[in-house]
Amino acid sequence: MDARVKKAVLAKIDEAISSTAEIAKIQQSLEHIPVGSQDDFAFGIAIGRIYNSFHYQTRRALKRNATEDEFAEFLDILANKAGEIRSALKQR
């Protein structure tokens, strides 16, 4: 993965971990939508925001879509940070 994209993805992960209040506000504004688990819903919001950053930064920095290898590296990074993201969301 390009270093610029990786840096942006890691920054977005750090942001998701440190700004759980923002995710909580999104969750509260959509609480009228039935979901199975509020924890899973918040985690999905965080993951969506991180994926969006990966996709946007790849397009912006590299002027193309991510390759399969780049996407696989993104998934590895996400898998390694998933527990930390979930823990931060539960602590809010």
Full-model pTM: 0.87
Q: What is the pLDDT of residues 31-88, one digit of tens each?
A: 888 888 888 999 999 999 999 999 999 999 999 999 999 999 999 999 999 999 999 9
pLDDT reading at 11 higher than 90: yes
Is the Cβ–Cβ distance between 14 and 85 less than 8 Å? no
Please say whether the beta carbons of 85 and 16 come within 8 A. Answer: yes
Confidence at residue 57, expressed as pLDDT on a 0 to 100 scale: 95
Residue bearing tokens 């290898």: 69
CA distance 80 to 85: 10
What pLDDT sits at residue 27? 87
Amino acid letter at 83?
Answer: G
CA terminus-to-terminus distance, the chain: 32
* Residue 67: per-residue pLDDT: 96
What DSSP state is assigned to residue 64?
S
Spatial distance between the Cα atoms of 42 and 54, rounded to a whole number of angstroms: 19
